[in-house]
Structure 1
Amino acid sequence: MEATDPPPASVFKQVDVLQQPLQVPNTNVVLPKGTKVFIDQAESEIRVELPAGYAFFTGSKPSPGNASLKTLPVIVIGSYTCKCGGQDGRCNVFYLSVGGFGCLHNSCTATCSGYFVTIDDKEIEGVLNLENSKISAALRTTTQSASLSPSGKQAFFDNPLVQQEILAKHQALFNGFPVPDLSKQSSRSSLQKDYVYIKTYLYGVRFYMLAPRVALVNHPEIEQISIEANTCTCSNKGECRIEKKSLLGIITVHWCEGDCDACVMAV
């Protein structure tokens, strides 16, 4: 799909191109380097345009019967506005190249709250890396990570196109090899000689899936984690936890959710 045109110059003025990633206030959304920032003349709205290779994720699923849709919808324009918590009053937006953007009180005497949505008012759950449209499992990947909210990750794994990609990878890995039942922790010790988790990426979203060791013999580039892993740990300050989701009743994917930068699955 073609990207939306940037905001008209007569209404919005470009004020910056991000030189480093920037987190949208009070969200899990991290805008990548190269994002263009626009602000309107009344300072009532900021719009951002993602660079090539990225798209906002709203959690919306493809329309049924739309056979021409081969990838996730490409949405590259986001809108940040501020609303007054009182019945009357107005809030302004502001942008600083060194500090990001946020809300200012104009005539509002209550709280000014920021909202980040698409230009057709859909809630933005995060940013995806469109160049990673096929599952990657390289040990030293150069894939730019996605930034998704917890609800965004749930919606991501619910997306039929995402499920199809993961299922195809699962079938290629097992290729007739028996799929074990790991629902009982006691069975994992006896199975770990034959099975591992592998760290994978799809659209920049990192997750873990089960694989037979025999399928990985000639792939030392794939990072492997013991199937006895049942938690996630941070390498810096913060906390994280393990999450999982069953897809199509066939495969269970795991991922780490938390407030630290380096959250990984561990025993």
Structure 2
Amino acid sequence: MKKVITAILSLALLTCLIIYSCQKDKEGKVEIENSKLLKKSSAWDQAPGKGGKLGWSPLNSTISEEGAGLAVVASGDWSYVGFDKENNLVKFEPLTKKTITCTCNTSGTCKPFKSHSPFGSTQGCVGTCTNCTMEQSVIQNGRIFDLESGGYFSPLAKTRLLKNGESAPAVFPALLELEVFQKEFSRFMDMAYKGKEIQKPISLPDGSIAAPRGYSLVAVSIMGRGMGVILPDNFVRSAIGNLASSKASCSCSDKGGCSLKRGDIGIAGAYWCEGDCNSCTLTTSRFNGPDINIKTGTYNVQLISYRY
């Protein structure tokens, strides 16, 4: 009888520990979901990818030295979502600290650096090492989350079309998995098309894409991250005052590959670039061809992809 009572008490204690652990995660506002399960309902057509080798943080973020690495705390309402090393989708609330370390896998020096851009800061690794890798992680509620890829997003940022000459950080796979992002993207596309059939781009021989006749390939920013979309000409003209670009292509800042990626949300597609170079960028430009609009004016924007 004593053994039975002991077993029951042990089971009850284990149950309490499990409940407490789950509540603690909830209170710490850390959400962990299995990305494979999410992909059953998501049309994201690639495995969790890497937008390049660098990390990005929004304007006015706090970046400080911490040991041999860097610590980043994003400003304002910027949250973070990404995939960890076990392919789980993880999301962290604003003001969560993220650490950056660099490791030399051969010989030489390898240390983190930070640089500034008009719309934020970039972080990476630099040194004499020929094989230097960057790792980023978050410690929350005593747990270490080693990140494979991801990025910051701002739920309060205004949804808008980018204007000629603008640059912005691009969307990334983990962000497309969030229901709140999917709903805002769908709302925007419904507003732009007003019941019309959503159009797909024309694929060109060089791997780029172009807008069909009567439509524009334009960059839209949702939650602070940009992507290429196909929109009706009349909507684009009313939003930014002129017709937009008709072609989007990818380019690398250095050695490596960089290719166009598509993520489907509902029946609409979002486009960005991914590769293994330091900076992988989607650039829009004019293009004239069969079944493609002859655009007037200039509409050149850049969407820069980052790994973190």
The reply to whether TM is greater than 0.5 is yes
* Structure 1 gap segments, 5+ residues each: 5-25, 64-71, 86-92, 105-110
Report deviation, 1:29.
Answer: 0.8
- Tell me what 2:76 maps to: 52
Q: 1:176 aligns with which of 175, 191, 195?
A: 195
Distance 2:211 2:162 in 1: 27
Does the aligned pair in 1 maintain the 2:79–2:94 contact within 8 Å?
yes
Match of 2:168 among 135, 145, 154: 145
Secondary structure class of the residue paired with 2:196:
coil
CA contact (8 A) 2:249 2:282 kept: yes
Equivalent residue letter for 1:145:
A
Whole-angstrom CA distance in 1 between matches of 2:189 and 2:137: 34
2:252 paired with 1:252: no
Q: For 1:45 and 1:254, how far apart are their aligned partners in 2?
A: 33
CA–CA separation in structure 2 for the residues paired with 1:200 and 1:114: 30
Mapped contact 1:138–1:221 kept (Cα < 8 A): no
**Higher relative contact order (Cα pairs below 8 Å, separated by 6+ residues):** 2
Identity of aligned residues (%): 11
Larger % of strand: which? 2
Alignment of 1:39-78 (within 5 A): 39=65, 43=67, 46-59=70-83, 73-74=93-94, 76-78=96-98
For structure 2, the residue ranges without an aligned partner over 5 or more in a row are 1-26, 30-51, 116-122, 288-308
Query: Alpha-carbon deviation of 1:102?
Result: 6.3
Please list the CA deviations of residues 30-79 of structure 1 after superposition, one character each: whole Å capped at 9, or x if unmatched: 24453334455xx366432222243333246589xxxxxxxx84353102
Instruction: Identify, as 1 or 2, the structure richer in helix.
Output: 2
Cα drift, residue 168 of structure 1: 0.6
* Alignment pair present for 1:208 and 2:228: yes
Is residue 219 from structure 1 mapped to residue 244 from structure 2 by the alignment? no
CA contact (8 A) 1:199 1:224 kept: no
Q: Which amino acid aligns with 1:121?
A: F
Contact 2:273 2:280 (C-alpha < 8 Å) held by counterparts: no
The answer to whether the Cα contact below 8 Å between 1:47 and 1:77 also exists between their aligned partners in 2 is yes
Write the distance in 2 (CA, Å) between the matches of 1:189 and 1:48.
Answer: 38
Corresponding residue for residue 35 of structure 1? 61
Amino acid at match of 1:123: L
Q: Structure 1: which amino acid aligns with 2:223?
A: Y
Alpha-carbon distance in 2 for matches of 1:121, 1:212: 42
Change (3 A) 1:171 1:102: closer
8 Å Cα contact 2:102/2:132 also seen in 1: yes
Distance 1:174 1:33 in 2: 33
CA shift, 1:234, in A, is 4.0
Shift of 1:117: 0.7
Aligned residues of 2:252 and 2:258 also touching (Cα < 8 A): no
Contact residue 145 and residue 206 of structure 1 kept, 8 A: yes
TM-score of the aligned structures, taking structure 2 as reference length? 0.51
Structure 1 CA distance for aligned equivalents of residues 200 and 112 of structure 2: 52
Q: For residues 238 and 81 of structure 2, what CA distance do their matches in structure 1 show?
A: 35
In structure 1, the residue matched to 2:159 is 135
Is the 1:57–1:127 Cα contact (8 Å) retained in structure 2? yes
TM (norm. structure 1) is 0.58
